[in-house]
Homo-oligomer: A and B are copies of this chain.
């Protein structure tokens, strides 16, 4: 089998067998089948369990061997001790790729799964995989939630349960996913194999990798060195070993232990890149200005002073008492959508800055949703990224989510936005070395 054939079976199967299905909600064999069917997988699905004749109104087979059609992808949720026998049946049926969802991580070394995989020529994801999600294939063969926002962030996770929660959290945080891959125990396919595929997947523009150990550091660094300039990666890990194994990688790869920060960084990395470290902050709050200046000192972000020319152009829009000759530019609490728009158009057209952060503290004077529509327009109009920060109550939250659903890196606090843009600046600084 050629190198990418098995990956196309894995991510773009034409048919799926789910072995070890259940009729009991909450059981893995129920949840994963239900997700596949309800998410709208287009090809035939073959449930397998000798106990049932049908499930979800789909014919249920006694064994894999009873299925007469071809099977591109097998998903195993059976008790682990049955896996060797099922693998021999998969071999007999000519199945080339299997996702083993069952098994508890670190607990299945007694079974000869890796050996059988090699012997039978079957590529294995797992065991203890959380499954696989690929939005373009309408494939949600995971234990995670059914409602996922489709987008450009790829997620690779070793942990099954944490991965499920992460999928849910991404949706709550308004972040669209292209792909989710549960690595589990990595008995066969490892982090490098999957990362390499996601690096080539056009629907994926940035990647979060949850790692507890690196199976093959050399391969991983090879993949990163090949591709990270075109597709950024953030690693979610608090393992010293992971950090140490990546020390020899000559590039920028953030390693964070905060799930929300991982999502924040992946979101901005999936958007526009920047071509310099000069960032202009525009705000309606002097208090936010001061906070941002302090935070920027811990980052590589350069809040340089606008040129006299730019200051002159901005001045006309700034209300009395505002500040236009510094960075941040302070539009005062009186600033509404039109004032922001005037200043941002000028700033986004200027060569002084490589990106703009627009901070809006919610006031009674301007509607967060109107502002977010304007930010969306600007994101489309200009090549340079504009990073909206909208901080306040229900309508500000809604505005941030609405922007995020459109792929725009919007944040609910200055600190989160600054940390995120800091990662873009670091990507630029490394790539321009």
Q: Closest 3 CB pairs between A and B?
A: A238-B294, A159-B287, A162-B287
A363-B143, A413-B258, A414-B259 known; A288-B162 Cβ under 8 A:
yes
Residues 380 to 433 of chain A near chain B (Cβ within 8 Å): 391-394, 396-397, 412-416
Which of B105, B333, B393, B412 is within 8 Å of A171, CB to CB?
Answer: B393
A231-277 interface (Cβ within 8 A of B): 236-240, 257-261
Verify A295–B164 contact, CB threshold 8 A. Answer: no
Interface string of A147-164 (1 = CB under 8 A from B): 100000000011111111
A365 within 8 Å of B (CB atoms): yes
Q: CA–CA, A216 to B285, complex, Å? A: 24
- A145 on the interface (CB 8 Å rule)? yes
A57 to B294, CA, bound (A): 47
Number of interface residues of A (CB under 8 A): 69
Q: Is A1 an interface residue (CB 8 A)?
A: no
In the assembled complex, the CB of A239 is this many whole angstroms from the nearest CB of chain B, namely 6
Q: Is A339 among interface residues, defined by CB-CB distance under 8 A?
A: no
Q: Which of A193-246 contact B (CB under 8 A)?
A: 210, 212, 236-240
Query: Closest CB of chain B to A284's CB: distance in Å?
Result: 6
**Most B CB within 10 A of own CB, among A105, A169, A297, A364:** A364
List B contacts of A286 (CB < 8 A).
Answer: 105-106, 159, 161-162
Whether B294 and A257, one on each chain, are in contact in the complex, defined by CB atoms closer than 8 angstroms, is yes
